[in-house]
Amino acid sequence: MKEFFLSRKEEERMHYNYLLDYYQQISSDLQPSDVSEDMKLENLSDSIFSDSFIKRIGEDQALFSAISTAMLLEKDAIDHYRKCENDSQILSLKSFFGLLVKWEMKHYEDLAAIQQEAERYYWQINNFEPF
């Protein structure tokens, strides 16, 4: 779990640095660089989540809850940035907030895939069958 949160911390640090640079450009009355999608959107399920780790999530309610909580935080961020995107009248800001929505949606989708795998394992070890 520690590795998971450290990887999330590093990705959020990359986002923070990107956003700070963007803010500094605007604050200095510079034309901000185009919003780019260069920021690496790594696939969590392909990176640190081995089968054994997924199984540990399925076996441990605290780990499962941590994933669920992370998903809620991502959903709140998606909703906030989407509202900012819709409310903005400035095209460059719309694009900027749209990029933030994509970042957070990627996080959410990866976490949802991990949660589904862990849930399937939980059902399997408890001999449950979905309806």
Task: Return mean pLDDT, the chain.
Answer: 79
pTM of the model: 0.70
Q: What is the per-residue pLDDT across 57-98, written as a single tens digit (0 to 9) for each? A: 777 777 778 888 889 999 999 999 999 999 999 887 888 889
Q: Which residue has the tokens 């399937």?
A: 120
